[in-house]
Structure 1
Amino acid sequence: MSISDRPSLGIGLRVLSGILFTAMVVCVKAVSDSVPVGQTVFFRSFFALIPLVIFLALRQEFPSGLATQRPVGHLIRSGFGAAAMFASFASVARLPVAEAILIAQLAPLFTAIAAVVFLSEKLTDWRIAGLALGFTGVIVLVWPELGGGTLDGRRLFGIGFGLLTAVLTAFALIMVRSLNRTESPGAIAFYFVVVAMIGGLLSLPWGWVLPDMQTILLLVLAGLFGGFAHIAMTLSFRYAEASRLAPFEYITLLWPVLADLLIFGLTLSSSFLFALPLVLGGAAVAAAEKRPAKAP
């Protein structure tokens, strides 16, 4: 079947990937006070390999599909992606899940800037408007600490790590655009997970802990949920066009909000409620930009 034949399946898979991704972040948040970030990154990456390798094998892309013409490109993309994972988990440890994921939504806006710098794309009015809205949202989110007279250092570091996550993710996405010309999505995902796993392992000298069985289970689930989330997202683009799936990107923020309310017992701050439409509006404006038609 062609892409347009089963859009409802594509949409369902995209929504499922958002739920699985949130489940992964909930697991990471649950262990963040007792497990170092590097150890969490290792477990998340190692156990994500299991569903990923099974998926590639079922598609007859393992190991043949891992052949690459651009090993250095994979290393650079994976390095940015692994660094983004470290920053993301550090942000999740310091912020409510919904706030950490909201700040990460700035990644497409930073990608627009990176595309201007590295791919010689134009900084259009759409992108400028999207950037203005997105950064206004971040200022609104952080304003209680900056303007209220009481600085919460842990929260400010969390926001800083969230912004760093968005920047690093943007660079990783730029590299994915470049790699997609010659490399398979399976190879791009596989090498990223392997590099992230090695990065987590290299943090061993900075202190790992011996977790109890419940913590080990949460770390394993973080990896499995992350791996299945990536597979669901990859499959969603097989059954529905990217433009059809774009509005459902923003539904994914519903699950972190529910996680904060129902699992962690956190209330939504007024700054988050004001920042939410600004950040999502900025991403939506940037995504709504019309691409010039190609010459026949």
Structure 2
Amino acid sequence: MNPLLGITLKLISTLVFAGMLISIKLVADRVPPGEIVFFRSFFALIPVLIYLRFQGPLGPLLFTERPVGHMVRSLYGVTSMFLWFGALQLLPVADALAISYGAPLLTVALAAVLLGEQVRIYRWTAVVVGFGGVLVMLAPHLGDLRHIFSDGAAFGAMLALISTVFTALAGTQVRRLTMTEKTGAIVIYFSLGCTLFSFATIPFGWVRPSAFDLACLIASGLFGGIGQLLMTQSYRYAHASLVAPLEYSSMLWAVIYGAWLFGEVPGISVVIGSVIVIGAGVFIVLRERALGRSPEEIRKPGLPGGA
């Protein structure tokens, strides 16, 4: 264990993932979500495959007993990314990111329902409180629900919210896969699956990106793959109870980049809601640590674009 190295890797991963979000935000109004998913997934394979190659022969690392399970995980993940990238087109980066913080809390509920995991009352309480924070963030965007499809911000907020459901489903499926599958296989087959599923969106109007947009799309994939590796490595050097709460530092980068590049300033509802959701998430992690739960049991799923 090297806690300082683990913390450093985790913080760098949040900065890299923020770079991925900004790369996507820069092209979101010109490139359809399905095409963004393709570039995000395909080019993420490059750093991951290079890393795995240095770990040894790829064959044993990529062996799987559950190809269908990987396909289900990819389907959940690609749906989450598609919805979330659509939300980024309509919402400020910080708003979309803040709403996505509800996914780990929802994973707690789904793990109890779908996996039969024991969830104590304090965790259920944290989930309820956390989703109260999500509602606080959603409230200004929703307005009159009768006009949700004509109000861009309202529609974007709903896309982000539905995306969290699929992110949580993907996180639950990952928990199933980790019972028999190696980490390398889970990461690689997820990116491969998302790449293949994204092809189904070609008939809905892919575009030929400009040189700038192409660079941003490729960067989103490279950032995503590197961020995934850094995040995974951080858990090797420090306990999840120490590392997991640092995920929320991504909000700082989102606010800085959003204000610098797009002139976006989070509203008071996003600030208040984020504090509630982040507080609920940190409470769960610290409470599990106090109870002596293992790091693997309290590890959180990543963001939709870094799942």
TM-score, scaled relative to structure 2: 0.89
Structure 2 residue aligned with 1:183: 181
Q: Measure how far apart 1:125 and its partner are.
A: 2.1
Structure 1 residue aligned with 2:20: 24
Partners of 2:78 and 2:197 within 8 A in 1? yes
Q: Structure 1's 150 and 270: CA in aligned 2 closer, same or farther, altered over 3 A?
A: farther
Partners of 1:133 and 1:282 within 8 A in 2? yes
Matches of 2:146 and 2:19, distance apart in 1 = 32
Structure 1 residue aligned with 2:169: 171
Q: Secondary structure at the match of 1:9?
A: helix
Structure 1 residue aligned with 2:230: 232
Q: Structure 1's 145 and 32: CA in aligned 2 closer, same or farther, altered over 3 A?
A: closer
Matches of 2:280 and 2:68, distance apart in 1 = 33
Say if 2:255 is the partner of 1:253: no
Q: Secondary structure at the match of 1:209?
A: coil
Partners of 2:142 and 2:157 within 8 A in 1? no
Name which of structure 1's ranges 132-141 and 212-221 shifts more when overlaid on structure 2: 132-141
Structure 2 residue aligned with 1:35: 31
Q: Measure how far apart 1:171 and its partner are.
A: 1.1
- Residue correspondence of structure 1 range 258-277 to structure 2 within 5 A: 258-277=256-275
Q: Structure 1's 150 and 258: CA in aligned 2 closer, same or farther, altered over 3 A?
A: farther
Q: Measure how far apart 1:124 and its partner are.
A: 2.4
Partners of 1:144 and 1:271 within 8 A in 2? yes
- Residue correspondence of structure 1 range 1-296 to structure 2 within 5 A: 4=1, 6-146=2-142, 153-290=151-288
Amino acid at match of 2:152: R
Name which of structure 1's ranges 150-159 and 202-211 shifts more when overlaid on structure 2: 150-159
Matches of 1:120 and 1:235, distance apart in 2 = 29
Q: Structure 1's 142 and 48: CA in aligned 2 closer, same or farther, altered over 3 A?
A: same
Partners of 1:129 and 1:286 within 8 A in 2? no
Matches of 2:212 and 2:70, distance apart in 1 = 35
Q: Measure how far apart 1:87 and its partner are.
A: 1.4
Matches of 1:42 and 1:146, distance apart in 2 = 30
Name which of structure 1's ranges 120-129 and 23-32 shifts more when overlaid on structure 2: 120-129
Matches of 1:145 and 1:9, distance apart in 2 = 40
**RMSD after superposition:** 1.9
Q: Measure how far apart 1:123 and its partner are.
A: 4.0
Amino acid at match of 2:63: A
Q: Measure how far apart 1:288 and its partner are.
A: 3.2
Q: Structure 1's 269 and 125: CA in aligned 2 closer, same or farther, altered over 3 A?
A: same
Q: Give 5+ residue unaligned stretches, structure 1.
A: none
Partners of 1:129 and 1:285 within 8 A in 2? no
Tell me how many residue pairs correspond in the alignment.
Answer: 290
Structure 1 residue aligned with 2:299: none
Structure 1 residue aligned with 2:297: none
Q: Measure how far apart 1:56 and its partner are.
A: 0.7
TM-score, scaled relative to structure 1: 0.92
Matches of 2:65 and 2:192, distance apart in 1 = 18
Q: Secondary structure at the match of 1:21?
A: helix
Q: Give 5+ residue unaligned stretches, structure 2.
A: 294-307
